[in-house]
Amino acid sequence: MKTWGFKTIRVKKNERAMLLRNGDFDRMLMPGKHRIAAWGDELRAQAFNLEESAFTHSLSDYLMAREPQVVAEHFVRVQTGEDEVALLIEDGVLTAIIPPATRRLYWKGLHEVQAQVLPVPPDLRVPADLLARIRAARAAGMNRYAPLMAEVPQFHTGLLWVDGQIRETLPPGVHGWWQHGHAVRVDVVDLRAQTAEVAGQDILTRDKVTLRLNLTAVWRYTDAQTAFGQHPKPADHVYRELQFALRAAVGQRTLDALLEDKAAIDATVLAQVQPRLAGSGIALESVGVKDIILPGDMRTILAQVVEAEKAAQANVIRRREETAATRSLLNTAKVMEGNPVALRMKELETLERVAERIDKISVVGGLDQVLSGLVKLRQD
């Protein structure tokens, strides 16, 4: 709306105002009361609160290019090259990091604003002292552009990827890199022993019996960079090698051979997989088959076979004991045949055992008749 005559504009003490005449920049207004002649022009004052240091406006590039005196009087200008970053420090506190190839304006007056421009090194690494400052600033709420930070725990290693290539391995600790213009990421790898479970494998034996097996293996990384350089997912590669080796080990044996020597599967799988993992940055330490599960009908048949085998073994033992008892009786008879005293002792032993089992004995005749079958026993 056009104004004729004068227009009064008031600017608060914590503000600055930009006077626009017919939509174009005219000048900056300091705090106070301003009486401005319009003379038919459209005047508009846009106020900015200095609590927000950053000046974000569509005319910021115009001011830096065409109004250097205005910029020098009212703003702190921050500009970074393609290989530079800037630390924005407000009232002595790190509040933001300006990325490369950036131009920004910050208000003067309410806050003391400084910019520290730093070159980005070829390896993109952030110095340790600066990394500590950035971590503290982020904890305090700095959420603008910041470097990539990664923490590698103890007993782990880190793989630094820059633009899709492994740049280096990282020891335990906190690390940081500038990432503007580069794709940077860190993969944390556990160097401790890890367990691979190959479970629920249905495999056909050489004699056409389907078994379900569960296998457990222990492995670890010996060179994480080599392992991830050769395989996108090393753990999946270990699983597949164990699975193939287990199928080969079971498929070349019969059911009876597997049940008699389950440890042979462990040794075969270990012997097949270890050479395949050689030079891949992975070491296989041990392999063990936990379970061999038979189909239901096969379990019934096997139980019957075991029952029959045990019954046959029991029968053999029983016959052996009977033979030994008969042989012992024969030897005793031979001894008593030529030794009357031994015969009399056996007779007395027999009579003693008989007397232990009855309450009363009636004897007609002598002892000889008792032993010769003329004994009359009556139990009351």
Provide the 8-state DSSP code for 379.
-
pLDDT digits (tens, 9 = 90+) for 118-166: 999 988 899 888 888 888 887 766 656 778 889 999 999 999 999 889 9
Residues in the chain: 380
Gap between the Cα atoms of 8 and 214, Å rounded: 87
Find the DSSP H helices in the chain. 60-66, 68-74, 128-139, 224-230, 234-251, 255-260, 263-277, 296-337, 340-355, 367-371
Residues 20/46, Cβ–Cβ less than 8 Å? yes
Tell me whether strands 2-3 and 41-49 are parallel, antiparallel or unpaired.
Answer: antiparallel
Which is more confidently placed, 233 or 137?
233
Which is more confidently placed, 25 or 294?
25
**Residue closest to 45 by CA, chosen among 73, 10, 79:** 10
The pLDDT value given to residue 207: 82
Averaged pLDDT for residues 55-71:
92
Q: Report whether pLDDT(301) > 70.
A: no
Which is more confidently placed, 216 or 259?
216
Provide DSSP, 12-81: -TTEEEEEEETTEEEEEE-SEEEEEE-TTEEEEEEEEETTS-EE--TTHHHHHHH-HHHHHHHEEEEE--
* Alpha carbon distances (Å) from 62 to 21, 221, 371: 15, 57, 141
Which is more confidently placed, 239 or 359?
239
Helix (H, G, I), strand (E, B) or coil at 378: coil
The pLDDT value given to residue 304: 65
Mean pLDDT of the chain: 84
pLDDT digits (tens, 9 = 90+) for 98-129: 989 999 999 998 899 999 999 999 888 998 88
Gap between the Cα atoms of 265 and 13, Å rounded: 85
Give the percent of the chain with pLDDT over 70: 84
Q: Report whether pLDDT(176) > 80.
A: yes
Residues 95/86, Cβ–Cβ less than 8 Å? no
The pLDDT value given to residue 3: 63
Give the percent of the chain with pLDDT over 90: 44
Residue 262: alpha-carbon gap to chain centroid: 30
Query: What pLDDT band is residue 364 in, cutting at 50, 70 and 90?
Result: low
Provide the 8-state DSSP code for 351.
H
Q: Is 4 left (phi over 0), alpha (psi -120 to 50) or beta?
A: beta
Q: Which residues of 239-274 are buried (b: 16+ CB within 10 A; e: fewer)?
A: bebbbebbbebbeebebeebeeeeeebbebbbebbb
Q: Report whether pLDDT(375) > 80.
A: no
Residues 120/84, Cβ–Cβ less than 8 Å? yes
**Residue closest to 99 by CA, chosen among 186, 179, 183:** 179
Residues 312/302, Cβ–Cβ less than 8 Å? no
pLDDT digits (tens, 9 = 90+) for 331-355: 777 766 777 776 677 767 776 776 7
Residues 214/198, Cβ–Cβ less than 8 Å? yes
Handedness of CA 145, 131, 167, 230 (dihedral sign): negative
Please name the residues in contact with 117: beta carbons below 8 A apart, sequence gap of 6 or more.
78, 80, 84, 85, 86
The pLDDT value given to residue 369: 57
Which residue type does 275 have? Answer: P
